[in-house]
Chain A
């Protein structure tokens, strides 16, 4: 077990370093950003001076080596705009993103698992059909559009919720629903199909033959069996959730990492982009790592070894 944990931790590090490498080279190969900060008719000396100062004139591999050494120490340079250290700017935005992502995840699990279980249990009933139709539609609605629709109805028409910004629970409601919608559809559908699968298993028949009542059969036995694949899917989907968070943050002007990353990409403020990529890759890798541990915990075939 310890071997496994160590192996996975090394993987986390490798993933993060490689993500940084790729983005670093992409940025450097697409040209240096000095042109953006100086007027187009700036004298050559001024450009050179600027490049000198930011280190863009040295050989690529030296820049890369220096960048990586600094990056591991948390130094991604200064924002090209605000002249502040990049990493703290990104970390400042972290709580807002977490708040949005975690509340959405909880909301979607809270809705999706009972809905999927009930749907599987009442297969082919009216309830099941409506829930399936809802999941199919839910997976086709792009989150940013749903966000716009919610703003239109709740902010522009009904005036009961703010259209954007942060600061209170009220501000969280619309972004949270927007981000959760896709996951609700996907998790419900998956829970339903997994549950149907499990309910067909021999060991469920055994439990039935022991006289276990239906409610207990579904709620205790089948659900625990279904949790293993569900956890796997949720972990895989956290990436989509993080990606969706970026878009949702932009739609609702939510001050998280996603919005910061977007603005920095627009401004070609690369130290911040790199720090943002670093943090996102790190979060994602760590989440996957935790999901693996959780998976092992639920599945005794892995745990007891």
Chain B
């Protein structure tokens, strides 16, 4: 059995705005093994960013609340830590890279001033040691002229360089878990590949786990060991990466795969999933995907499907109900749509 660095069990998060409350995260389960890269995939608004912020303890204090569930980091529940205890983890044992490198660095402080912050908070180091460490890490993320960059301001760097700075910020205290929230979405395509390569590289070298949040399946295929697919605040499928791409079980995952433009064939039209993601306030009984699912039947509208397990492959779809499996096998192969 692999050591689990992070376990999220039945997490429910509630947001309050005025008198209305919504639950953007409803019963999320997943885990990250030591040394692996877990991909979390889903459309914008599916709750993947909220989930990652909850692991960092960065949810807005007043308007959000973890209603139930637990977040185990190194077998310790961190979901109810107070601010002071969380601060010891942030940037130290768990760190995070954000989507927008252009706005995620403070424009009025030098790179060095900003990078010294995690060291200042978590390690006892002299000024010269701090500087030395920062330069080492800046070099490690492949920044040229690290000795100069340390005294420069963010606006003097390009987008790709800033994302490298962000990565080095997350790397400084050698965390056990790094969360990357769409780390390449805002970057040029050529730079995207470089940054992904860098993330892969530092993950292995520093022996840490990586939680990669993205909407881009090709990034997942490139980077991840295992994948969690999220839809409307729930985990609908979870599998090892090759298994998922070979045998997607949930109709939503299948739809996502089909909407990928393929390199091999030129289709006249791209596939897209019909309909809209339901808003958290609109979700009723039954399967969250039922309103867009081409295979939906009565049960899907009436009852919420549980997580069906086939070894390590988990999916939340009534089609995977063992009782139904038998019917399916007697009939024709079902889940091939065209």
Consider the complex of A and B and state whether they touch directly, i.e. have CB atoms less than 8 Å apart: yes
Indicate if A225 sits at the interface (CB-CB under 8 A): yes
B58 touches A205 (CB 8 A): yes
Indicate if B117 sits at the interface (CB-CB under 8 A): yes
Q: Give the Cβ gap from A79 to chain B, nearest Cβ, in Å.
A: 50
Contact with B along A199-237 (1 / 0, CB 8 A): 001111111111111100000010011001000000000
User: How many of chain A's residues touch chain B, expressed as a range?
Assistant: 20 to 34
B90 touches A203 (CB 8 A): no
B104 touches A203 (CB 8 A): yes
A209 touches B100 (CB 8 A): no
A208 touches B107 (CB 8 A): no
Residues of A within 8 A of B121 (CB): 210-213
B155 touches A209 (CB 8 A): no
A-B contact count (CB 8 A): 83
Residues of B within 8 A of A206 (CB): 98, 104-106, 114, 166, 169
Contact with A along B133-171 (1 / 0, CB 8 A): 000000000000000000011011000000000100110
Indicate if B95 sits at the interface (CB-CB under 8 A): yes
Specify the chain A residue showing the minimal Cβ separation from B99: A202
Indicate if A304 sits at the interface (CB-CB under 8 A): yes
Indicate if B87 sits at the interface (CB-CB under 8 A): yes
B109 touches A221 (CB 8 A): yes
Known: A209-B95, A209-B96, A211-B88. A225 touches B155 (CB 8 A): no
Indicate if B91 sits at the interface (CB-CB under 8 A): yes
> Looking at the complex, which of A3-11, A70-78, A109-117, A294-302 is the stretch in contact with chain B?
A294-302
Residues of A within 8 A of B170 (CB): 209
Residues of B within 8 A of A224 (CB): 108-109
B58 touches A208 (CB 8 A): yes
B83 touches A304 (CB 8 A): no
A225 touches B91 (CB 8 A): no
CA of A214 to CA of B58 in the docked complex: distance in angstroms? 12
A210 touches B117 (CB 8 A): yes
Q: Give the Cβ gap from A26 to chain B, nearest Cβ, in Å.
A: 44
Known: A228-B108, A301-B153. A209 touches B58 (CB 8 A): yes
Q: Give the Cβ gap from A300 to chain B, nearest Cβ, in Å.
A: 4
Chain B CB count within 10 A is highest, among A202, A209, A213, A224, for: A209
Q: Give the Cβ gap from A198 to chain B, nearest Cβ, in Å.
A: 10
B169's partner among A124, A201, A210, A213 (CB-CB below 8 A) is: A210
Q: Give the Cβ gap from A295 to chain B, nearest Cβ, in Å.
A: 12
Indicate if B92 sits at the interface (CB-CB under 8 A): yes
Within 8 A of A (CB), among B57-112: 58, 62, 83-84, 87-92, 95-96, 98, 100, 103-110
Specify the chain A residue showing the minimal Cβ separation from B110: A300
CA of A206 to CA of B95 in the docked complex: distance in angstroms? 10
Contact with A along B6-25 (1 / 0, CB 8 A): 00000000000000000000
Q: Give the Cβ gap from B18 to chain A, nearest Cβ, in Å.
A: 12
User: How many of chain B's residues touch chain A, expressed as a range?
Assistant: 35 or more
CA of A204 to CA of B153 in the docked complex: distance in angstroms? 16
Residues of B within 8 A of A228 (CB): 108
B153 touches A210 (CB 8 A): no
Indicate if B220 sits at the interface (CB-CB under 8 A): no
Chain B CB count within 10 A is highest, among A210, A213, A228, for: A210
Indicate if B56 sits at the interface (CB-CB under 8 A): yes
B117 touches A212 (CB 8 A): yes
Within 8 A of B (CB), among A272-297: none
Specify the chain B residue showing the minimal Cβ separation from A203: B106
Specify the chain B residue showing the minimal Cβ separation from A213: B87
Indicate if B118 sits at the interface (CB-CB under 8 A): yes
Q: Give the Cβ gap from B308 to chain A, nearest Cβ, in Å.
A: 36
Q: Give the Cβ gap from B136 to chain A, nearest Cβ, in Å.
A: 18
B153 touches A300 (CB 8 A): yes
Indicate if B131 sits at the interface (CB-CB under 8 A): no
Indicate if B122 sits at the interface (CB-CB under 8 A): yes
B155 touches A300 (CB 8 A): yes
B107 touches A301 (CB 8 A): yes
Chain B CB count within 10 A is highest, among A208, A224, A298, for: A208
Residues of A within 8 A of B62 (CB): 124
CA of A202 to CA of B169 in the docked complex: distance in angstroms? 14
Known: A211-B87, A211-B118. A304 touches B104 (CB 8 A): no
Specify the chain A residue showing the minimal Cβ separation from B156: A304
Residues of B within 8 A of A203 (CB): 103-107
Residues of B within 8 A of A225 (CB): 106-108
Residues of A within 8 A of B109 (CB): 221, 224
Q: Give the Cβ gap from B62 to chain A, nearest Cβ, in Å.
A: 8
Specify the chain A residue showing the minimal Cβ separation from B108: A224
B90's partner among A210, A221, A298, A299 (CB-CB below 8 A) is: A210
A205 touches B88 (CB 8 A): no
Q: Give the Cβ gap from A174 to chain B, nearest Cβ, in Å.
A: 38
- Other than A207-B106, A208-B58, A209-B91, give 6 A-B pairs with Cβ distance below 8 A: A124-B62, A203-B107, A204-B106, A206-B105, A224-B108, A225-B107
30 CB-based A-B contacts, threshold 8 Å: A124-B62, A201-B103, A202-B98, A202-B100, A202-B104, A205-B58, A206-B98, A206-B104, A206-B105, A206-B169, A207-B114, A207-B117, A208-B90, A209-B91, A209-B95, A210-B169, A211-B87, A212-B87, A212-B117, A214-B83, A221-B106, A221-B109, A224-B108, A228-B108, A299-B108, A300-B108, A300-B155, A304-B152, A304-B153, A304-B155
10 cross-chain pairs, A with B, having the tightest CB-CB distances, nearest first = A210-B91, A211-B91, A203-B106, A202-B103, A211-B90, A211-B121, A210-B118, A300-B153, A202-B104, A210-B117
